[in-house]
Amino acid sequence: MSVTSRCRCFGRAEKVFLLTLSLLVMDMRSLSTSAQHNQHPGQQHGQVLSAETLRQCSNLVHQAVDAGSKGDMATARERLEQSVVLCPNDPTALGNLGYIYAVSGDAMRAKDLLQRSLGSQSNVPEPWVNIGNVLKNEQDENPLPVEEKDMSLVRRCYQTALRLQADQMDALANMAGLSAMDRDWERTAVLAERSLAIGPSEEAFCALMKALDNTCAWYHPRRDLATLFRLLEAKAREAVARPSIGLISRMCYNAGTAALITDLPPELSLLVSRGEMAIVNSNITRLPQQGLGWSLLPGERVKLAYVSGHFLDHPMMQMMKGMFRLHDTTRVHVICFATSQSDNSPLRQSAEESCEEFYDVHQQSDRQVALSINGHNPQLLVNLYGFLDKSRNGIAAHSPAPVQLNHRWCASTGAPWIHVHVTDKHTSPPEFRHLYTERLSIMARTYLVNDHVHSYPSPADGPAWMR
């Protein structure tokens, strides 16, 4: 295994953006062609290196791999630098060292080493894996939602590595991770199993566990819960202790997946939620507190704001569309903020017509949306995200309202800025109260609002099972 596939768990690429720009303009095909005219890794200044020197270089690289897998990046870099001195054209040592410089923020040095790695021998897969890892790190640091991140060049690098060596373990594992991001679970499982058949890989293991859980293959022989729990706990504790946006992609499971796995210990689910929210919070600058308060003049209505990415033809709106139009407008002023672009569906139209004020803010950053909400001075903000897809929990993390509620999500958010969790006694039994960081608002029947009464006003108008 190359050092880089493990290094991604230990460093943060704070300045990889500069490196990425330089790599984007590289003509990789010309590099591959020109490599034929470069020296062989076993040559130095036209002279063939001795077998002993090559053996020393190989040992140093293996020592670097061992140090990197244990988180000792200083030793890993030292061993790789020693290897590059002895074997200046070794693509594996050059590529791994380039990746280490990239994640430490030295973009210029990293670019030089990665270019030398490809130029030395571009028909070796490891340099392509290293460059793919660097580009992926840059995307991991990007605060955009996962579905908006551009992984095309990352994918191209891994695919090139696999064309050169069909059983390259790290490329298979990383391609499995990309397929999991695309929710292509069948391909994820195939790639992950191919990687794991070659050797152990955290990336491949996590990708396979996601694929198995999302396809309900709970009794698959490779579904190793003990290892999964151990990894989840380690990553969540790391996120709580040293949160950074780049850790999101390395959490193995996100909090949404963790909460929905029935055999995951609830304490671990809460820890994963806290870890994810700690990462969200690490990128937040709190809004000024002026304008936040709970004071109503005589006759003034409560301002109630909703923020969601699902004001669309989505199960949330299918169930909740009646709720927005049934607010008592003599007491409540409803303002809705949509963080997804309109799909022009009847449900989107219903939301726009049911809220007194409706704002499409999908092009705004989390902070800009929070400022927009705060500018309306609401007393209450209902966060209709939890850890669903299209979630943007960074908005509520800015604390744009004095009281903020979590609704539509079945478990605790683990976020100190969410004050109230809307639930019921069946979803949140009293004996599990300690697993919530929020105060519980217990609904009489169910927290899960639905619109069946208005969608099917009489049994004759409803589906066959209602008749």
Answer whether 427's CB lies under 8 Å from 410's CB.
Answer: yes
Q: Are 117 and 230 contained in the same domain?
A: no
CA distance 269 to 275: 10
326: tokens are 């049934």
Query: pLDDT tens across 34-72, in order?
Result: 333 344 445 554 557 888 998 999 999 999 988 887 778
pLDDT of residue 196: 95
In a domain, 189, yes or no: no
Answer whether 403's CB lies under 8 Å from 379's CB.
Answer: yes
The count of domains in the chain is 3
- Name which residue leads in pLDDT, 3 or 96: 96
Answer whether 262's CB lies under 8 Å from 268's CB.
Answer: no
215: tokens are 């396809």
In a domain, 29, yes or no: yes
In a domain, 440, yes or no: yes
What stretches of 18-177 adopt beta strand conformation (E)? 43-44, 47-48
429: tokens are 């039994």
In a domain, 170, yes or no: no
**Weakest mean pLDDT among 126-140, 320-334, 381-395:** 126-140
Find the CATH number of the domain harbouring 67: 1.25.40.10
138: tokens are 């840059």
* Helix axis angle, 169-181 to 185-198, nearest 10°: 160
60: tokens are 């140093």
Q: Are 349 and 426 contained in the same domain?
A: yes
Q: Are 364 and 446 contained in the same domain?
A: yes
Which spans in 70-124 are helix H?
73-86, 91-103, 107-120
Query: pLDDT tens across 332-366, in order?
Result: 999 999 999 999 999 999 999 999 999 999 999 89
Residue tagged 């340099």 (tokens): 127
| Nearest Cα to Cα of residue 151 among 127, 123, 125, 180 | 180
Answer whether 240's CB lies under 8 Å from 278's CB.
Answer: yes
pTM (2 d.p.): 0.71
Q: Which of 26-30, 38-42, 78-82, 133-137 has the highest mean pLDDT?
A: 78-82
218: tokens are 């709970």
Find the CATH number of the domain harbouring 398: 3.40.50.11380
- Residue 260 belongs to what domain range? 225-282
Query: pLDDT tens across 97-149, in order?
Result: 887 887 777 767 887 888 788 776 668 788 788 788 878 877 776 666 666 67
Helix (H, G, I), strand (E, B) or coil at 417: coil
Q: Are 350 and 424 contained in the same domain?
A: yes
| Nearest Cα to Cα of residue 413 among 307, 273, 282 | 273
Average pLDDT of the chain to the nearest whole number: 81
Q: Are 271 and 347 contained in the same domain?
A: no
209: tokens are 């566990």
Answer whether 16's CB lies under 8 Å from 137's CB.
Answer: yes
Q: Are 93 and 24 contained in the same domain?
A: yes
Q: Are 436 and 407 contained in the same domain?
A: yes
What one-character DSSP code corresponds to residue 451?
Answer: -
* Helix axis angle, 91-103 to 73-86, nearest 10°: 140
